[in-house]
Amino acid sequence: MAAELKTAGNALFAAQNYGAAIEKYSAAIALDPQNAVLYSNRAASHHALAQYNDGLLDATQATEIDATYSKGWYRRGTCQDALGMYPESIESFQAAASTATTVAQKAQCRSAVDGVQAKIMEPSTMSSDVIQALARAHAIPLPMSTNRDVLYQALSTHPLFGTEPNLRLLLIPESQTASLSQHELPRGPDHSDLHDRIAALLGCPAATSILLHSEDQMAYAKRKPLGVGIGRLHTSYEAWLNPNAALELPLNTRACRLLRRPNIHGPVLLQKTTFIKSTGLAVGTSMDILSFERVEEAELLSDRFRDLRAEWIPLFERNT
């Protein structure tokens, strides 16, 4: 009986009578509730009616019943794409590709991934999270709204939209009594003298950087093949130092305490960067930078920063 209802639903779907198709698939599901194909077909009908949330629920159910059912993953991805859930959509299409059984199906999934990737930084489709990060980059005020179009209108009409964000740095001075201070360095088109200006702030001829935490690198360390996942935002903390400070300058005990790292000598500049993961490569580019975030001392003293350093140190700083 469930098979007959499915056949009737398929015929109605082909005739673009999606509401009636949903009724047939629903009746079939009542008789065979562990059939992933029925949920997937009903998801396709919901998608055709722009009922994307309902479609996502059904497609998710299909993949939970059968994680190897490629079409379920594909339809889950199409609903997520329609809802603006681009990182999740890419992951679903990748799962669809990994479980596809034909060359044509795999090619369709790869094409779907490419299509969603193109939307991540496209002005007409970028997510609210991306809009908010770009606004923070220039301290552009946004209205108190959850509407993506309202947020984008406020961002896109600001004169700083589309310009290079300044590099924001927190200076932890060598003096243990001097106040921490905020600095902003303009970034030119080629960033050619940026390292020189960072070194000048540190009072040395050259500067070197060390990574204190990276959400993307941690994801790779946890054996996630694409890091945090394409389309997802991620942050990193980076410290700029005088490479010869240990030979020339006293221990900066405050910096050691705040950054939870021993043997820091001389002044330190702290940089926090928000990126968007645009490709599956382990190393991003300057094009992936959305914002250089302002860091306050309270953030370095927070439980969250303590926990970030605690997970980073055993993996990346064993010999420091």
Give the tens place of pLDDT for each residue, 272-304: 999 999 877 777 677 789 999 999 999 999 999
Q: Same domain for 171 and 252?
A: yes
pLDDT of the residue at 28: 93
Residues paired with 209 in a beta bridge: 240
pLDDT of the residue at 258: 97
Contact status, residue 266 vs residue 241, Cβ threshold 8 Å: yes
Neighbours of 21 (CB within 10 A): 26
pLDDT score of 104 more than 90:
yes
Among 95, 120, 145, which residue terminates a domain?
120
Q: Same domain for 178 and 312?
A: yes
**pLDDT tens per residue, range 21-75:** 999 999 999 999 999 999 999 999 999 999 999 999 999 999 999 999 999 999 9
pLDDT score of 213 more than 90:
yes
Taking each helix axis from N to C terminus, what angle separates 70-82 and 36-48, rounded to the nearest 10 degrees?
30
Q: Same domain for 183 and 308?
A: yes
For the chain, give the mean pLDDT. 93
**CA–CA separation, 123 and 253 (whole Å):** 45
Amino acid in the structure at residue 241:
L
Whole-structure pTM value:
0.85
pLDDT of the residue at 225: 86
pLDDT of the residue at 320: 57
- Altogether, the residues listed in the chain come to a count of 320
pLDDT of the residue at 110: 93
Going by pLDDT thresholds of 50, 70 and 90, the confidence category of residue 317 is confident
Q: Same domain for 44 and 175?
A: no
Q: Radius of gyration over alpha carbons of the chain, in Å?
A: 25
Q: Which of 191-195, 259-263, 279-283 has the lowest mean pLDDT?
A: 279-283
Q: Same domain for 27 and 98?
A: yes
Q: Same domain for 100 and 208?
A: no
Contact status, residue 290 vs residue 276, Cβ threshold 8 Å: yes
**pLDDT tens per residue, range 138-148:** 999 999 998 99
**pLDDT tens per residue, range 4-18:** 999 999 999 999 999
Which domain range does residue 11 map to?
2-120
Count of structural domains within the chain = 2
Q: Same domain for 205 and 279?
A: yes
Helix (H, G, I), strand (E, B) or coil at 167: strand
Q: Same domain for 40 and 178?
A: no
How large is the average pLDDT for residues 155-161?
A: 94
Among 65, 95, 120, which residue terminates a domain?
120
Distance of CA 90 to the CA centre of its chain: 12
Q: Which of 317, 212, 229 is nearest to 273 (CA)?
A: 212
Contact status, residue 215 vs residue 250, Cβ threshold 8 Å: no
Per cent of the chain over pLDDT 90 is 85
In a domain, 155, yes or no: no
pLDDT score of 105 more than 70:
yes
Q: Same domain for 115 and 175?
A: no
**CA–CA separation, 27 and 264 (whole Å):** 68
pLDDT of the residue at 191: 65
pLDDT of the residue at 319: 63
The runs of H, that is alpha helices, within the chain are 2-14, 18-31, 36-48, 52-65, 70-82, 86-99, 103-120, 128-137, 148-156, 194-202, 215-221, 245-248, 253-259, 297-300, 303-316
Q: Which of 237-241, 250-254, 282-286 has the lowest mean pLDDT?
A: 282-286
pLDDT score of 122 more than 90:
no
Q: Which of 11, 64, 80 is nearest to 25 (CA)?
A: 11
